[in-house]
Structures are given as structure tokens and as C-alpha cells.
Amino acid sequence: MTESAAIFDKIVRERRSMRVYDANKPFDGEAVYRSLQRAMYAPNSSNMQIWEFYRITDPEKIKVIAKYSMNQSAARTARELVVFVVPRSVYKKRAKANFDFHHARYNNTPLNELSAREQRRLKYYSHLMPMYYFQDWFGIAGIIRKIVVGISSIWRPVVWQVSKSDLRVVCHKSAALAAQTFMLSMQAEGYATCPMEGFDSVRVKRYLNFPSNYEINMIISCGPGTQEGIYHEQFRVDESEVIFTK
């Protein structure tokens, strides 16, 4: 095992979901900012980065969100809360940002003067991604994509996850990868975290004034940990039930 692997192993194994935070120990808010910067480097679907991170630092706002989080102690005693959000409506903006990045790499050369591979990359973000992420209220676009994919599957392998519900899962998986990166970074910074799914998403969205098409992936509390905040020794099922080779 390399030195880096040993350090990472320690971080992963020591990370626990903290239920009670220490109100008296010093807390460096810059550690949260650095960890969110690192979360931006998490892997995500097609590099579309359909995520936004909101820091809740005001004690009064923390109280309100803790109330909406079933008053659980992990939220109530937190020094900060971070809300990981899936803003699916930003897909056009993210696709354009990717297009502009790659076009700049190609010195903004006109499309018809680029190689076939370079054209494919640019068209991926100018046409395919906007078409893939577009959703109407009734999910008709997703149904049409499913039909097209089903027909195409007769001749070649295809990506089946193209419906409205599929896209929700894709976006939330990417946001969850960012959230995990954030938690591991906070552990490396010397602070504890707790990912929370037990909250009233409608009230939290309304309180934070999120657009109706935004979805909350999870809320993560953070701060200096306590012994009482870890309720019991860690339990994981045996690896023989989880790790397989085929």
C-alpha cells in the first residue's frame, strides 16, 4: 500500500456520521469552502456538473432548517449546513460552458475546418446534451427518446436511461458523488459531517427560495465532532456479501 493509499484508507475508515457537534471547539469555515472547491472535481455524468452547493452559516437559518429536518440533533447542533442541489434547468448553461471550453481548445476554429473527432465533441455539447436533458412537463420527450433508443438497440448497444425519471437519477448520482467528496475532504480537514435525507424538502426549498424545478439531493451538517455524536461502533456487512468477481 502506498503512503497516499494509507492516508486515504484512514480518512475513509474514520469518517462517521456525526449526530452531535461540539459548540465550543473552534471551527474553520474556510475548511467548508475548500471542501466544496474539492467537491467540484467529483466525477459526474458527461462533465455536465448539474449541481449547486449552498452553505447555511446563519445560526437562525440553521435553526429553521433543523426544524424542517425533523429537529434531528445532527442538524440542530451543526456549525454549518450544506445543501446539495440538483438544478436540472441549468443544463443549457452547462452544455454551453463545455462547448466554449473545447472550442477554445481548438482555437475557436470554424466547425467545418475541424477534424471529425473534434466536430463530434463539439456537437456532443451543442446538440446531444441539450436534447438529452430537455424535459417537458408531461415527459413526452423522454418517451420519444425511449422509442428511438429501443429501435436503435436492435442494431447496436445503447444507453437506455433517457426518460424523465432516468435523468433525475443520473443528476442525483452526480450530486451524490460531489457530496461524498465533500465529506471525505471535511474528514481530512479534521471535521465531522452527517448526510441527511430526513427533511421536508418542500419547506426547505420554499425557505431557501429555490426554483420549483430544483431538487435537493441531500443536506450535510458539519462541525467539530464529539464522542457522544457517534452512537455505536461501526457496522458493515461482511465483504463476501458485497464484493464479487465475474
Q: Which of 107-121, 156-170, 184-198 has the lowest mean pLDDT?
A: 156-170
Helices (H) and strands (E) in the chain, counts: 10, 4
Q: How far is CA 2 from the centre of its chain?
A: 28
**CATH class of the domain comprising 19-89+177-225:** alpha beta
What are the two backbone dihedrals, phi and then psi, of residue 87, each rounded to the nearest 5 degrees?
-95, 80
Segment 23-60, tens digit of pLDDT: 999 999 999 999 999 999 999 999 999 999 999 999 99
Which pLDDT band holds residue 150 (cuts at 50, 70, 90)?
confident
In the predicted structure, residue 163 carries a pLDDT above the cut 90: no
Proportion of the chain above pLDDT 70, given as a percent: 100
In the predicted structure, residue 133 carries a pLDDT above the cut 90: yes
Proportion of the chain above pLDDT 90, given as a percent: 88
In the predicted structure, residue 142 carries a pLDDT above the cut 90: no
Strand, coil or helix: what is 172? helix
pTM score, whole prediction: 0.94
CA separation for the pair 66, 204 (Å, rounded): 10
Strands 214-223, 52-56: parallel, antiparallel or unpaired by DSSP?
Answer: unpaired
Grid coordinates in use for 128?
Answer: 446531444
CA separation for the pair 121, 102 (Å, rounded): 8
**Residue holding cell 408531461?**
138
Domain parsing of the chain, residue ranges: 19-89+177-225, 91-165
Amino acid (1-letter code) at residue 244 = F
Q: Residue 214: which of 116, 83, 113, 43 has the closest Cα?
A: 83
Which pLDDT band holds residue 136 (cuts at 50, 70, 90)?
confident
What sign does the dihedral 175-179-185-189 (CA atoms) show? positive
In the predicted structure, residue 160 carries a pLDDT above the cut 90: no
Supply the DSSP string of 89-143, one letter for each residue: GGHHHHHHHHHHHHHHHTTT--GGGS-HHHHHHHHIIIIIHHHHH---TT-HHHH
Residue 80: the pLDDT is 98
CA separation for the pair 130, 67 (Å, rounded): 38
In the predicted structure, residue 67 carries a pLDDT above the cut 90: yes
